A and B are shown apart, each in its own frame.
Chain A
Amino acid sequence: MDTPRDARLRELARRCTPEVARYLRRRAYPLNDADIEDLVEEVLEIAWRRLDDVPSGAELPWMIGVARNVLNNARRKDSRRRRQLGQMRPRSLASSAEENVVANEQLREALARLSALDQEVLFLHYWESFNTDAIATALKISKGASATRLSRASVRLQEAFEENSAASDIEQLERTRDE
């Protein structure tokens, strides 16, 4: 017999887990299904323990925020293990989305020049289609800070991208001249 807490968790899990799983796959590409399920289970365990804290109406952003923390923790553990094993383990969780998915070299380099939080805000907005309210919930920052950060991060990305483009143009010009 389900208790109310059980039922609430089931309802939350069925509603949010598909998106959480897709988020994990996007952000920790490539991961196999079993790894994703392990991370999903960890997310749900935290949700279960903190069920009272899940904000009504913002369940998905809250869950994505938890998933982000779970993923970051897993990456750190994986990174430590790989260091202990002399870097012999293949890249797995440590691989970030931007390293594996963003094919445009200039964009990848521009992203790498942003802070982790700026990157996260951009990914949440442009990949997860989160508005600034949802970003605020996921990252546990104020709505005002979320809007400001998204705006600034977009500008910084564009600036970094254009600087890279300019550098690339100069290189191309120099190559052409040498030829």
Chain B
Amino acid sequence: MTEHFQATELLRAANPATNFDIDHEHLDQIINRVVSIQVPTRRSTFRAWKMKSASALAAAAVVITAVVVSLGGGTPTLPVLALSATSRAAASTAHGSVDKSAGSHSPPSGAPTPIVGSNTFIAGSGLSSTTSSAPVYTFGEPADPSSALMTVVNALGVTNPVLSGTSSCQETATGNNAKVYSQCDLVAAAPINWYYNVDLPACQGLITNAAGLSVPCAVGWGFTDSSATPSQLTQWSAPLVQALAPSGVTLGNPTFNDNVNVVTYPCEIDGVPITGCSEKFQYNNGGKLIYATGTTGPVGPFTQLGIYPLISPLAGVSEMSGSVSSTTSSQSPIVVTLTSPVLTYAMESLTNGTTVLVPQYTYAGSDNASYTTLALDPSYFTTSSSK
């Protein structure tokens, strides 16, 4: 007879423990390549998409097909939105964004984390089956990237900035005390994101802190043991908040990640948060701004394209479930219950490069993540990625 072992002990014993160590020179090269990447883009959103039919694909060639859909009964007709294949939303059936404040559902302000694997979504109790409507907006005219960047540079107090552009929509301002660079979306002309990094003295290992003690650089710079309070972060960021707010939007109540002394203000339009648009500031414990990022340039004024019909929050869950692709048989689907839908806006690009604000639902998942899906009635948009 087979001796009956404890399976977990066998598993522990099967650990392919390895002494493998990555080559340190190679690691240095990798790190240098990584930190040279100037694209800490924080606007991509993974979402569910209902796959469009072939007939819808034909319509996708038209950027905005005017007078295509009528709500009937004399209701004004609405243009169908042809969303770009390279839009943040297109081409992905994976979706999900981790809500860092587990337990408190709020629209995500940071970069979402795709939930890897196949999820099955079910609607939690109380999800409304009532449809509604909401405006869709187009952005204002694109601004000159250099002048947009200089507005930010001046607000941040960067001294003696020297402008240099590396591409048509990427500009860098290097000053005596900091570097600011801006980047517009390669798909759409608007908006422009900016990033601020303060210069600190080069430090190899240790640095002398204010108390005269030798401490690791990261500690001396305030990256560890971050202890600023939300009220301090609010106070420190207050002078910059309004100066840097993108035109045409208001800034909502701040959220805090006081593990790293970060305060984030979400952009809103008509009181509805815009996913991916925010002002974020990071300070050291002494109140010195060490990193910031936000959105600027030609955000507003917005033009209302029309009041579009929305699917219900309940139907939104079905849209997500219908879009989920199966994965390998070894991966069992994770069942996620979605509750507490919140209407937010997503920035998406049309095939002609125009940026639009479209309504989406953000749900709280039973796995403590947030999930988004487009709230627009599927009759009113196409995506050229649907193949």
Contact = CB atoms under 8 A, between A and B. Distances in A.
Give chain A's interface secondary structure class: helix
Interface string A1-40: 1111111111101100110011001100100010011001
A49 B111 contact: yes
B238 interface: no
Contacts of B260: 52, 54, 56
Which of B10, B21, B282 has most chain A Cβ within 10 Å?
B10
B31 A13 contact: yes
Contacts, number: 194
- Looking at chain B, what size class is its interface with the partner chain? 35 or more
- Looking at chain A, what size class is its interface with the partner chain? 35 or more
A22 B245 CA distance: 44
Which of A37, A97, A101, A168 has most chain B Cβ within 10 Å?
A37
A41 B35 contact: no
Contacts of B253: none
B259 A55 contact: yes
Interface of B: 1-2, 4-8, 10-12, 14-18, 20-23, 26-27, 30-31, 33-35, 37, 39-42, 98, 100, 102, 110-111, 113-117, 179, 197-203, 216-218, 221, 223-224, 226, 257, 259-260, 262, 280, 282, 290-291, 327-328, 330-332, 334, 367-369
15 contacts: A1-B202, A5-B197, A21-B21, A44-B30, A44-B31, A50-B111, A52-B262, A54-B260, A55-B259, A96-B330, A115-B332, A140-B98, A142-B102, A157-B8, A158-B6
Interface of A: 1-11, 13-14, 17-18, 21-22, 25-26, 29, 33, 36-37, 40-41, 44-45, 48-56, 68-69, 72-73, 75-76, 79, 96-97, 101-104, 106-107, 110-112, 115-117, 122, 126-127, 140-142, 145, 154, 157-158, 160-162, 165, 168-169, 172
